Amino acid sequence: MPFVNIRITREGATREQKEQLIEGVTNLLVDVLGKNPKTTFVIIDEVETDNWGVGGESVTTLRART
């Protein structure tokens, strides 16, 4: 019964891509640890770029400069 939380910046991930993440990480837990997929939960959090920082500045600022 694993629980996986994936956090990415909100920059246009499609529903299909999110389905692929859910399916892929569930299969990974089945393959590596023999976990039951029926009780494997995955939650994807999409975070605004203003609210995600790396290197001491927000991703919004980082994207604007590069």
**Interface residue list for a second copy (CB under 8 A):** 1-9, 13, 15, 17-29, 31-33, 35, 37-47, 50-61
Residue 47 CB, nearest approach to a second copy (Å):
6
Cα angle 46, 50, 55 (rounded to 5 degrees) comes to 100
- Residues 21, 44: contact at Cβ < 8 Å? yes
Task: Please choose, from the candidates 46, 60, 59, 51, the residue with its C-alpha nearest in 3D space to the C-alpha of residue 13.
Answer: 46
Catalytic residue at 37? no
- The active-site residue out of 2, 6, 29, 42 is 2
Residue 9 CB, nearest approach to a second copy (Å):
7
Residue 63 CB, nearest approach to a second copy (Å):
11
Whole-angstrom distance, CA of residue 60 vs CA of residue 48? 9
Active site residues: 2
